[in-house]
Structure 1
Amino acid sequence: MEQATYRTLEYDRIRAMLADCASSVLGKERAAAIAPSSDRAEVALRLAETSEAVRIAGFAAPPLGGIRDLRPMLKKVKLGAALTLDAFVDVRSFLYATRNVKEFFKALETDAPLLKEAAHGLELLGQLERSLDNAIDEHGELRDDASVELRRIRRERAAAEARIKDRISAILHAPEHQKHFQDAIVTIRDERYVLPVKAEYRRFFPGIVHDQSATGATLFIEPMAVVEAGNDVKQLTLAEQREIARILKSLSLQVQKEGATLTANADVLAQVDFAFAKARLAERMKATEPQLSDGRETKLLAARHPLIADENVVPIDIELGTRFSMLLITGPNTGGKTVSMKTLGLMVLMAQSGCFLPVAQGSQIAVYDDVYADIGDEQSIEQSLSTFSAHMTHIVAILQKAGPRDLVLVDELGAGTDPEEGAALAMAILERLLAIGAATVATTHYSELKTFAYTRDGIENACVEFEVKSLRPTYRLLIGIPGASNAFAISQRLGLADSIILRAKELIRADHAQFEHVVSDLEQQKRLYEQMNADIAERQRHAEALEKKVAAQQADLDKKKGDLIKKARQESAALVRRTRREAEDIIDQLKKQFDDQGIHARQAAMQEARRRLTEASEKARPGIVGQKHLGKKIDLKTLKPGDSVYLPKLDQKGTVLELHGKELEVQVGSLRTSVRAKDARFLGHAGAGGGETLMNGAKAPLGKAGGKHAWASAGNGGTGVYRQSGRGTTDLLGKTATARREIDIRGLMVDEAEGVLGKFIDDAQIAGLGEILVIHGKGTGALRKGVQAYLKHHASVLSYQFADQTDGGTGATVVQLK
């Protein structure tokens, strides 16, 4: 692109801002040299890289410190020169930075394929890094153990210096020499240890004079006693310097050997630093990532000129390349026309450089091959060119080079000459640019161009808003409405006589006045519609907020409903499990009694089972009156044989046969038993018809009729007493009497069949059956396999096999019970 365009749009200031955001010299150089690209794929890659850096910088700061510019050092070692210790410190810092950046991206969990791939290309030079660490300490000094020879030399030199200090100290503190010294201190001259001796006592101190004071009163003498030792120190110092030079040369050769790798690593670190510089610039500008349009569509929302302070900038919406490829902006001077045009041009340059834009989310921008700008007064005295000539020279050059994928920005088109000729020339130039197909933004004051835009497809009028009452521009860009000059209103507000303004209105052409009136009406309608749109948007936001609130409440209700259902299911499942466990305990106890323990043990077990089942039944039906409350306490004085009594423990009624003190012999069905009188309840005397006469005059329960509870009629106005029979005992006896040998489980699922079959086996055992027949059918065989797998592990099953053909063959299984 043209360098003149960069200067016109102040692109260099963006470069400077970007360089200021870089952390290293390498990053700053890359930022200062950045240039827009016209390749859409490359622009998309640049923006993607910036997007990754912005995403990473949002939660983690990359370790970019320590990146040094090694190019001068690499150039020196390439020529065979040895580097200094300071240079090696920079090289080591660079190696540390390389390792830190590589490890940072290796541990990074954020999706950043471009930057991760770049960091993956960093090559760690572990051998060189270890060599530098072994030779140079954290203060940048050469270590004593950088080599065996250096350690020996420094140790010997230290010992020689210590001997010198001891000898000089002895001379310095000798009592006979105290008056000979100017000061009782040891100093160094020409790297030799000397004493400050007064000049008049020179003869008392044989040795070498290395220096004297400015007045000549003090001589700095190296005593002969330490001269030889000083010579040794000097030789060791020279040896040390030679060994240091050898070590630095060796390290320099290692750096030279890795020169290509260091250069490649420097390029990668510069790329990473530059990417995060763009991220920092985006943060400073509060910028967002623009969408790249596939065609020529550009639509910037709330665009802010990046070089105008936040407190002064006015966001504008710019549209180009959608319904029109040319935008004609009109309006008064200092209204913001040029700033609007520069904002668009600078946004294009920034986007094509890979920078985020200070625009609202949802903005999109096209990629242009080139950007041409003719903005400002370029009058040249040296070239004898007027303002009009300078502009026209530049426009001629633009028309010769502009293509259909370029962006052309022209300020005050046709200005600086006769208005009619300038307007006609401007229309001709716009027609040419329209024919070329270049995206164009032009500013003008000519009313003829406003009409011209209405009569041509592909051109749209726009204006910068101006508040007539305050005589101030609002700097807002209004697309679709041409701007009025407002010359009369401005002049009147500034104090021009009304008579002059009235005369001016008489002189203006009628069509022009009508056009200005139409423009004014359009602007008013524009403001009205904007206000209406703002109200609608506010109502819409309110409605959306209410929808979100209702949705949240509904979600909360659904959650509470689900929690209640889940809790109820859990409680129900727990109740079922508890009931099953109790029933299984009862059945297990009953099974254990059906062995050779004897009839008494079985009866006791059955009585205990009846009691537990009765209690469970009463707990499950808390509102029903239990039968154990029937009758009243027995009075032995009135009790006679033949009277009816109720035995709660057996849950049966019986007839008194004999009385033996406090014990009764009672006939219960075919069973005769002895019970204590306190364990029985009196029902009625013998001879009462229609059942036993109760103490309250009611009839006792007559027993079960058809499996239902029966009622005795209540006499003497008494209330009937409901007697719940011993359901567990009745069921048990009923199962014994009506037990079946076979069960049909066809049509059930395996898990359903297991539950039904387990209960059937328990009932069969209680009834004393040794063999049962399970009819499961043939079908797919899934039910048969599931049933036989269940029988295989059942504790009460002795064996099982398929039934005979007469009993169903493979469609049924005969089970032998233990």
Structure 2
Amino acid sequence: MRLLATSHFAELKQYAHVTPGVVNGAVEFDLATLRPTYRLILGTPGGSQAFAIAERLGLPASLLAAGQARRSDQGVALDASLTAAAEARQSAVEAERVAEGLQRRADEALQEAVAARREAREELQVARRTASAQATESAERLLASVEQLREALSSGSLTPSLAAAETAVRAAIASEEANTDDAGGTAAVTATEISVGDDIRLRSGARGEVLAISEDGRMSVALGGMRIQVERSDVSALLGRQKRAPAPVGRPTAAADAVARLDLRGARVEDALTALEARIDALLLAGGERLEIIHGVGTGALRDAVRRRLRELPEVREVRDADAPGRDGVTIALL
């Protein structure tokens, strides 16, 4: 037989708490609004809210105090315990709700992070697949620019604009090599595999012949009609070894005299120095040994900068004034 009984007697609540087969229960009461929620909670005895309701209804304080004084100590203690238990339960419910919200947001953040990582990997794979094709196309354009520059060098007059074009080509080559490295390009050929006369391919896609290798590992490479300096790490492949002794790359259509004079008048110092180094490379490739640099007189700033750079270059063995008198605006460089 099952029995459902309601009571305000604290003794009955205590009896249900200690007696097997008897369970306390209560209809939940909102302490903030002093209104029932009509939720049945098993395992927790309910407490009387008579005094709180009476106070809200305006019963005199003296009457309420007298009523409180007539309550038994056991009833007061039990009601206090019940109130504390209800507050603790409410706090636990609130904490559980907050924890569930935090867990839900953490799960969402984890899913977003996994999706972002997957998307980043896919984008990286696409970039790596397209990097090689882009590098090859860019290298072909750069080689065409180098060939145009070589033809300009062979004409015997390297203007500041052509010097700027040469600088742009070198910068573009360096940029393409860096892009190839970032895209996971081919590993560099080991240092012991390369020797003078070898046919190599650079990371930029350009193909050239090794003319010389310095002690610090830098290599002089004939690229089209010009010579450039590269590091061993810039070499991506060894295409073949030359059986003949290495020889300078010559210019079949241009004599040495065509590149023996460089007119820098009116050029900025930076452009003039770039043009000077490019002309020396061209002259060495053509087998020339003497370069006449026309810098003018002016303030002497361009002349001093040119002579200072000539003395820094290992290819120049002597720097001197022009042979003929009255040519203060000319410097002779012997290679």
Q: Same fold (TM over 0.5)?
A: no
TM bracket, shorter-chain basis: 0.3 to 0.5
Q: Please, what TM-score do these two structures have when normalized by structure 1?
A: 0.18
Q: Computing the radius of gyration over CA atoms, which structure comes out larger, 1 or 2?
A: 1
Question: Relative contact order, CA 8 A, sep 6+: which one is greater?
Answer: 2
Q: Please, what TM-score do these two structures have when normalized by structure 2?
A: 0.40
